[in-house]
């Protein structure tokens, strides 16, 4: 086989030395994860009794509500959602962009070269007399190596920024999953509330219609005034008019659940729920504020953007320093293809180029802009943390107020039912009129509507607390296996 000498050993050593030097320094600030918030509690008041401070949230937190059908809906949505599919594709894109940049940043580029040319030379060009023209062919083959000596770390900072952008997309995906699960859970609770409100309103309408029928008969007998009939008729029609908006909201909830589970509203078989299908978790896990920054995807995404801005500032600073490009080629050159790899055909080159900006006002302005972008990212991160703390604080107070409202509504419902039972007993004994019985039934159903709203609010705000906690660790760049705590449940009163 034909053979030829490689680059001289001293040049190979020089290339290795410069590559080592390239990895020694990177200008600009190194990213440091911001300190956790120095607060020990979310609100001035003590947390509600059901809240357990310092306990992690299970990734599949929606299972705490004890509804297998709800679990199936969430599972289907997480599997089929087009929104999540788009977020996953964006994450893959970000990771591939990082891999592409890493390939050209961390390693030299190596290209094979094969060429042929037809040339003409004259005697004068060779320093000879006469007009003799010489035609010849020239063939060459070889390998060309190029490498940017990243002496000040600009390329590595750019690669670091791309890695942070990939982390950002990963946390965006985790956030999208949390939002999707939360939307399904809260929509299901709303659907259950609307269904029971419609049933209670229809019962009220029936009682009012019966009362109106009695009033009309009494009017025909001259036992009551026409104004009483008109007043009751107005009440009936007002109650009747309240039903279509409720039915419309219920149908919209069905349509929303269909879309959230990646199905067309007209083709989806969406189950209907009642509040009795759910149990209220007796233990609600709440991480401490210092851990919240590691649990919430929005805070982690903001951290990734801060990391990217830090790295981009390093790129802008590195542009102020010299840029060194190295290149080398090794190949053969001959006048015939048969001699292309023969003795004496080897050629090689080794080159280096240094470029130092002498006057470029835009470079300094670019560095200043990158520094301003870094400061903006830092401020945005701090605001994101504050908003997260406020979100948790609001939810905790809502839970406490919900508990008080539900307790009062449950007491009112108990009293209304007791009053209805008493009127029924009096009606059977002839001590109360049928109109009094209808009135007691309406009052009981009105009270029932308030209880339904209080139950649904407590369920929804419990789900909101799981979301405020970040929904557990689920498919994030730093995902860790989270232990699922045992949850004891109590049926909603």
The one-character DSSP state at 61 is: G
Q: In what side-by-side order are the strands of the sheet with 346-355?
A: 109-122, 133-149, 323-334, 346-355
Rounded Cα distance between 58 and 72, Å, is 17
The DSSP 8-state label assigned to residue 313 in this structure reads H
What residues are paired with 112 via a beta bridge? Answer: 143
Radius of gyration for the alpha carbons in the chain, expressed in angstroms and rounded: 38
- The CA-based dihedral angle spanning residues 426, 428, 432, 435, taken in that order and rounded to the nearest 10 degrees: 130
Tell me what pLDDT residue 127 has: 62
Which tens digit of pLDDT belongs to each residue from 352-384?
777 777 667 778 888 899 999 999 999 999 999
d(CA 203, CA 198): 9
pLDDT band at 110 (very low <50, low <70, confident <90, very high): confident
Q: Write the burial class of residue 5 (CB in 10 Å: 0-12 exposed, 13-18 middle, 19+ buried).
A: exposed
Separation CA 295–CA 202 (nearest Å): 45
| Residues with Cβ within 8 Å of residue 363, at least 6 apart in sequence | 316, 319, 320, 357
- Give the per-residue pLDDT at 381: 96
Q: Residue 272: which of 185, 187, 193, 191 has the closest Cα?
A: 191
Of 16-25, 334-343, 380-389, highest mean pLDDT: 380-389
Report helix angle 154-220 to 226-260, nearest 10. Answer: 150
What rounded mean pLDDT belongs to the chain?
Answer: 85
- Nearest to residue 160, comparing CAs of 358, 309, 337, 371? 309
Lowest mean pLDDT among 266-275, 423-432, 441-450, 474-483: 474-483
Query: Cβ neighbours of residue 122 under 8 Å, at least 6 residues apart?
Result: 131, 132, 133, 134
Q: Name all domains of the chain by residue range, CATH numbers in brackets.
A: 29-108+153-331+362-491 (1.20.1600.10)
pTM of the model: 0.82
Q: Residue 368 corresponds to which tokens in the numbers above?
A: 């200043």
| CA gap 356, 409 in Å, rounded | 76
Query: Given 3-state DSSP classes, what are the helix, strand and coil percentages for the chain, each rounded to the nearest 5?
Result: 60, 15, 25
Q: Which residue has the tokens 């670091």?
A: 160
φ, ψ for residue 146, nearest 5 deg: -125, 140
Judge whether residue 491 has pLDDT over 50. no
């Amino acid at each position: 086989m034909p053979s030829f000498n490689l680059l001289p050993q001293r040049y190979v050593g020089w290339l290795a030395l410069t590559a080592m030097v390239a990895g020694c320094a990177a200008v600009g600030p190194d990213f440091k994860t911001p300190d956790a918030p120095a607060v020990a509690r979310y609100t001035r008041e003590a947390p509600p009794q059901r809240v357990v401070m310092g306990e992690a949230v299970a990734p599949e937190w929606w299972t705490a509500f004890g509804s297998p059908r709800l679990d199936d809906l969430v599972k289907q949505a997480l599997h089929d959602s087009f929104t999540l599919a788009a977020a996953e594709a964006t994450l893959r894109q970000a990771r591939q962009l990082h891999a592409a940049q890493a390939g050209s940043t961390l390693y030299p580029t190596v290209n094979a070269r094969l060429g042929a040319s037809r040339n003409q030379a004259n005697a004068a060009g060779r320093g000879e007399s006469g007009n003799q023209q010489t035609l010849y062919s020239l063939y060459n083959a070889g390998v060309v190596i190029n490498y940017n000596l990243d002496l000040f770390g600009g390329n590595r900072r750019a690669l670091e920024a791309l890695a942070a952008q990939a982390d950002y997309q990963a946390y965006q995906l985790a956030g999208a999953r949390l939002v999707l699960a939360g939307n399904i859970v809260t929509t299901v609770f709303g659907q259950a509330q609307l269904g029971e409100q419609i049933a209670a309103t229809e019962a009220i309408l029936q009682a009012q219609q019966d009362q109106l029928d009695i009033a009309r008969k009494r009017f025909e007998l001259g036992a009551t005034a026409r104004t009483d009939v008109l007043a009751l008729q107005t009440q009936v029609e007002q109650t009747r008019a309240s039903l279509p908006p409720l039915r419309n909201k219920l149908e919209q909830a069905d349509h929303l659940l269909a879309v959230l589970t990646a199905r067309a509203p007209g083709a989806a078989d969406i189950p209907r729920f009642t509040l009795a299908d759910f149990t209220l978790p007796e233990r609600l896990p709440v991480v401490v504020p210092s851990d919240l920054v590691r649990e919430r995807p929005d805070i982690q995404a903001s951290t990734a953007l801060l990391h990217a801005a830090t790295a981009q500032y390093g790129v802008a600073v590195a542009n102020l320093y010299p840029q060194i490009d190295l290149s080398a080629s090794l190949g053969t050159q001959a006048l015939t293809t048969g001699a292309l790899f023969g003795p004496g055909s080897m050629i090689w080159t080794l080159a280096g180029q240094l470029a130092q900006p002498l006057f470029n006002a835009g470079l300094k302005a670019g560095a200043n802009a990158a520094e301003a972008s870094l400061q903006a990212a830092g401020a945005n991160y701090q605001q994101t943390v504050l908003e997260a703390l406020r979100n948790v604080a609001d939810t905790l107070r809502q839970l406490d107020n919900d508990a008080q409202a539900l307790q009062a509504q449950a007491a009112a419902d108990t009293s209304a039912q007791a009053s209805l039972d008493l009127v029924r007993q009096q009606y059977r004994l002839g001590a109360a009129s049928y109109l009094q019985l209808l009135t007691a039934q309406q009052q009981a159903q009105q009270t029932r509507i308030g209880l339904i709203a209080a139950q649904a609010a407590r369920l929804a705000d419990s789900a909101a607390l799981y979301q405020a906690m970040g929904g557990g660790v689920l498919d994030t760049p730093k995902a860790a296996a989270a232990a699922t705590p045992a949850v004891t449940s109590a049926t909603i009163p």
